[in-house]
Chain A
Amino acid sequence: MKFERYGIGIAKGLMVTLKNFLRPPVTLQYPEEKLITSKRIRGNELVWYVGKCTGCATCAKHCPQGNIEVVTHVGPENTYIVEKFEVDTGRCMFCGLCVEACPYEAIFMGRSYERATYRQKELVLSKEQLMLSELRQPSGYARPKIEALLPRQKLLLYWDREDGQKLRWFPWRKRSKN
């Protein structure tokens, strides 16, 4: 005698949905709370180190779309001095080939994802904009030595919450810190 045939199946389904109803929601309230990206993520931006770059333009050669523009001149110690290092991130697809190609580890993928601008031309980033800052942090992508030093992480994206990855009923409200 199978009880699935006597309406028990619908009752079970109702209990499943009721359980879901009583669960806290998974919705992320974006501007109030943001997901943290993993330190190894192939993110949505590039970080450029002015001290490490020799102006060899390997990155520009490896870029499939030709987004990177490097202009150099010869300096006093017979080295290149980088005049211009521009990346058109509007056309960039963040494949990471420039990062993998760089022989001096002067360019990194970044961890941030909030890159929207009001003007298209603002997406063409200059030297100064590409440099390391508080908002522009490098990730360990394609840098095995650096990656080995990073703490272990399981998730690519995770909540920025004190109580770990548990779901909460009113996640956008600031929890009072005692």
Chain B
Amino acid sequence: MTVMEQFRNWLAGAMPDWAAYILAFIVGVVAILIFALVMIIVFVYIERRVVGRFQVRLGPNRCGPEGIFQLIADAIKVFGKEDIVPSKGDFWVHFLAPIVTFVPALMIFAVVPFHRGAVFTDLDVGILYVVAISSISVVGIFMAGWGSNNKYSLIAALRAVAQAVSYELPVVLSVVGVILLTGTLSLNKIVEVQTIPLFLLTPLGFLIFFLGTMAEINRSPFDLLEAESEIVAGYQMEYSGMKWVLFYMGEYGHALAASSIITTLFLSGWKGPLLPPFLWFLIKVLIVFFIFMWARATVPRLRVDQLTAFAWKCLLPMALINLVLIAAEVIWFPEMLPWMMVVVNFAVAGVLILLWSRLFALGGGRVEV
């Protein structure tokens, strides 16, 4: 029984069932919204400070102690900005695009377990829901590109669609590996089943899922759709004021959602010794986000053909082999000890990475794929 159900039952003692249902729903939604928005603000602040440190500078540190009010100052500035809609653009598509991009990031948190049983709705098909919802935001980006009536925006939108279509497959296939190992689709149960974190059991799946989500949430080095050097600011170019902020928050909301999902699926969610579970969850989310930032500070942006080639030629076959391997292990060796599985899977992952690296040989100053 989840915390939400207990809360609903407790409310039902004092009021009719339908009122308890609605009230519990509202309280849960508000709690999740507050968590997500606060974490987005924290993430933006952390990203600015940490990327600053990666570039051997300080980052914002003037507004308030250590610059924690910098984002409030930025928000006030952005509120005062004019909202410009291109005259030849499609007003409604242009208007709805930021919302369609931002809302799925929040919707993912409906199934993320923050604590033992602390999940808004313990969906039986939780991970399916996550996969379905997380690909909606691409529609928003495409709407932004289409509604802006701008060639660069449209190029960015088409890139976003190509990227999402390419990286959805390896991500889903690596998730299938997790489902095979845990035997459930519910995120809550996936965490409860994980005695050892799953990134040890399926290292290759973890790597594929990590890279694939990084591409899906359009973080660097896969941020082709806002490549400043090629297409100015991509799909965000015709946006200003609060609409632009929604895109910006959507970006970080997706980063937060992706970190939460990676934590839940592969890093055993809220489980951990000594500290309270919610704190463990936050720590793991921040570690995953730090790796995102680390990759952003290190790896340069890929070319478009490199991007899709990496998905189709590298990640997809590897994800398939990983899936077959895990399926074989689950079906034929159900009594296999976990540590033996760890050894075998790490060895296979190493061999596969070595083999596939042959396809991406360096030559003549450019990466040939």
Binding site for B on A (CB under 8 A): 2, 4-7, 10, 13-14, 16-18, 20-21, 23, 25-27, 29
Evaluate contact between B298 and A26: CB separation under 8 angstroms: no
**Pairwise interchain contact A6-B357, C-beta atoms closer than 8 A:** yes
Contact in complex: B53, A27 (CB < 8 Å): no
Whether B353 sits at the interface, judged by CB under 8 Å, is yes
- Are A25 and B52 in contact (CB-based, < 8 A)? yes
> Which residues of chain A are within 8 angstroms of B55 by Cβ–Cβ distance?
20
Q: Is the pair B357, A14 in contact by a Cβ cutoff of 8 Å? A: no
B56 interfacial by beta-carbon distance below 8 Å = yes
Instruction: Give complex CA distance A84, B358 in Å.
Output: 79
Tell me the minimal C-beta distance from A137 to chain B in angstroms. Answer: 30
Task: Looking at the assembled complex, report how far the CB atom of A30 sits from the nearest CB atom of chain B, in whole angstroms.
Answer: 11
> Can you give 15 A-B contacts (C-beta < 8 A)?
A4-B362, A5-B358, A5-B361, A6-B354, A14-B295, A16-B298, A17-B54, A17-B294, A17-B297, A17-B298, A20-B55, A21-B53, A25-B52, A26-B57, A29-B58
Q: Chain A contacts of B52 at CB under 8 A?
A: 25
- The chain B residue sitting closest to A26, CB to CB, is B56
B278 interface contact, C-beta 8 A: no
- Please give, as numbers and ranges, the residues of chain A lying within 8 Å of B297 by CB-CB distance: 17, 21
A55 to B79, CA, bound (A): 59
C-alpha spacing A18/B291, complex, angstroms: 11
Min CB–CB distance B359 → chain A (angstroms): 10
B69 within 8 A of A: no
- Find out whether the CB atom of B57 lies under 8 angstroms from the CB atom of A13: no
Interface residues of B (CB under 8 A from A): 50, 52-58, 294-295, 297-299, 353-354, 357-358, 360-362
A25 touches B294 (CB 8 A): no
Q: Is the CB of A25 within 8 A of B298?
A: no
Q: Which of B53, B58, B353 contacts A7 (CB 8 A)?
A: B353
A35, chain B: closest CB distance, angstroms: 16
Cβ distance B62 to chain A, nearest Cβ, rounded Å: 9
Q: How far is the CA of A102 from the CA of B294 in the complex (A)?
A: 57
Assess the A18–B294 pair: CB atoms within 8 A. Answer: yes
Q: A10-B299, A17-B294, A18-B294 are in contact. Are A5 and B58 (CB under 8 A)?
A: no
Question: Of all chain B residues, which has the CB nearest A167?
Answer: B56
* Closest partner residue, chain B, to A1 (CB atom): B354
For the complex, give the distance between the alpha carbons of A6 and B353 in Å: 7
A23 surroundings in chain B (CB, below 8 A): 56
Whole-angstrom distance between the Cβ of B367 and the nearest chain A Cβ:
10
Q: A7-B357, A25-B57 are in contact. Are A14 and B298 (CB under 8 A)?
A: yes
A-B pairs, top 9 by smallest CB distance, nearest first, are A27-B58, A6-B357, A17-B298, A27-B57, A13-B298, A25-B58, A17-B297, A21-B54, A14-B298
Are the CB atoms of A13 and B299 closer together than 8 Å?
A: yes
User: In the bound complex, what is the Cα–Cα distance between A7 and B360 (angstroms)?
Assistant: 10
Contacts of B354 in A (CB 8 A): 6
Q: Which residues of B contact A27 (CB under 8 A)?
A: 57-58
B residues near A25, Cβ cutoff 8 Å = 52-53, 56-58
Kindly state the separation between the CA atoms of A13 and B296 in the bound complex, as whole angstroms: 11
Residues of the B chain whose Cβ atoms lie less than 8 Å from the Cβ of A14: 294-295, 298
Instruction: List the B side residues contacting A5 at CB < 8 Å.
Output: 357-358, 360-362
Kindly provide the distance from the CB of B99 to the nearest chain A CB, expressed in whole angstroms.
35
Closest Cβ neighbor of A16 among chain B residues: B298
Q: How far is the CB of A11 from chain B (nearest CB, A)?
A: 10
